[in-house]
Amino acid sequence: MTLHVTDAIVLHAFDYLETSRIFRLATRESGVVSVLARGARKSVKRFGSSLDLFVTGTAEIQQRPGRDLQTLSGFDLTYARSALAADLDRFVAASMLCELALRCTAGEAHAETFDALTNGLDGLTRVSGREAQVFGAQAAWQLVDSLGFAPSLDRCASCHRVLDRGDDALFSHRTGGAVCRDCEGVARGGRRLPAAARSAILGWLAGAESPMPDAGTLRSHARLLREFVEHHVSEGTELRAYTAWAARFERT
């Protein structure tokens, strides 16, 4: 057994047996790790009083090689983000980001994903309502980017020719992004992406302040992002928080 100390964000928490909890953590060094926190439901002595969803802290993990479930022996909170519960749009968007981090486990770029998630959750604490919905879309694309799945948007994903900024383009998940007219036949399936939506996603990926899209645009963004993410998660994986997040657009 080795002791591993790492920065961690709590992505998911659920009760285990009478008094314990299992946490799924995004760690800076090792990606997503599942840990058992014995007695966490009953006593706050060992893990402090704020071991909860969305928090960042230093996790002490007792690691046994070859095990799926490791043991959490300590957690030192650095940032609680309880403000994420003070607005339902924030809360649902934060859940969606954590779900993406959980489901789209990619290569070794854990630090980038950890930072993208940190920025996303932190940013959400400062916005609410519609703004939180839009910020959620932006943060989700940045998270996807950090996982190494960023779509090609300014060049054709198939022949790499530069695309005109003002042109609508076909977006093909299979091909990995926008494709030029000549390649539309090769890229089977896809969705027509208006030039404005393409430049919005480009801006989001670059971390630019985004203009507030109308409800219809936001809905099509949510659909596009969902198709893109579903293409990168293992088959049959349910995106529950994502569904809850996208459903909120239908009401606005």
Partner 1 sequence: MSAIDDLAGELAKLPGIGRKTALRLTYHLLKQPPERSRKLAHALEVLRDRVHPCGVCGNLTEDPECAICRDPRRDRTVICTVEEAADIGAIERAGEFRGLYHVLGGRISPLDGVGPEHLTVRELEARVSAGGVSEVIVATNPSVEGEATALYLQQSLVRLGVRVSRIARGLPVGGDLEYADGGTIAQALSARREMI
Residues in contact with partner 1 by the rule CB under 8 A = 11-14, 17-19, 40-44, 47-54, 81-82, 84-88, 91-92, 95-96, 98-99, 102, 238, 240-241, 243-245
Which residue, 81 or 221, has its beta carbon nearer to partner 1?
81
Nearest approach, Cβ of 148 to Zn ion (angstroms)? 22
Q: Which long-range contacts (CB under 8 A, 24 or more apart) does 43-49 make?
A: 43/19, 46/73, 46/74, 47/72, 47/74, 47/75, 48/75, 48/76, 48/77
Residue 158 interaction partner, one of Zn ion, partner 1, none, beta carbon < 5-8 Å per kind: Zn ion
Scanning residues 62 to 81, which ones bind Zn ion (CB under 5 A)? none
Nearest approach, Cβ of 41 to partner 1 (angstroms)? 5
Nearest approach, Cβ of 154 to partner 1 (angstroms)? 33
Choose, by CB under 5 A, the member of 3, 5, 159, 212 that binds Zn ion.
Answer: 159
Q: Does 158 bind Zn ion (CB under 5 A)?
A: yes
Residue 183 interaction partner, one of Zn ion, partner 1, none, beta carbon < 5-8 Å per kind: Zn ion
Which residue, 45 or 188, has its beta carbon nearer to partner 1?
45
Nearest approach, Cβ of 153 to Zn ion (angstroms)? 13
d(CA 142, CA 128): 19
d(CA 93, CA 133): 7
Nearest approach, Cβ of 193 to Zn ion (angstroms)? 14
Neighbours of 77 (CB within 10 A): 16
Residue 180 interaction partner, one of Zn ion, partner 1, none, beta carbon < 5-8 Å per kind: Zn ion
Choose, by CB under 5 A, the member of 35, 94, 117, 156 that binds Zn ion.
Answer: 156
Q: Does 183 bind Zn ion (CB under 5 A)?
A: yes
Nearest approach, Cβ of 143 to partner 1 (angstroms)? 15
Residue 69 interaction partner, one of Zn ion, partner 1, none, beta carbon < 5-8 Å per kind: none
Residues near Zn ion, by CB under 5 A: 156, 158-159, 180, 183
